[in-house]
Amino acid sequence: MKMQTILATLKTHMPFKSETVPGDIVLIGMPTGLFYGVVHSIEPNIKKNWYNVNFKLLVVPPTDMTWILREPQMTGEIFTINGQEHFMIAVDTRPSDKTIERQPPQESPRPKRKLTLIKSEDDVPPETA
């Protein structure tokens, strides 16, 4: 399946951000599969309008990577590395607008027990003279 088709399908099922900034969780599409990563830094490259994107690929073991990308390539545009299609897009991790109806706690079928505190002679402070 082509990356364009995969990405289009994902966009119907997942919330994505319109920009990518350090600290973002990104979804990365590679020929070997889909992976999550965390962006550590985005620094200007010596080439105008290109950036060094430093991120950790969340695989076992986690792998530090740097890709040189333009801004559109950090936000879902398909690009190639060595002739193979890739993409990177930030996942919107904010809570969704859908509210979850919470069920009230159910009463326990057994009666509640109360604890009684019993003091002993050892608990009484000694009298001072």
Closest C-alpha among 28, 9, 32 to residue 84? 32
Each residue's pLDDT tens digit, 38-85: 999 999 999 999 999 999 999 999 999 999 999 999 999 999 999 999
Q: Provide the pLDDT for residue 96.
A: 74
Contact 6, 31 (CB under 8 A): no
User: Would you kindly state where each structural domain of the chain is located, as residue ranges?
Assistant: 3-90
pTM: 0.72
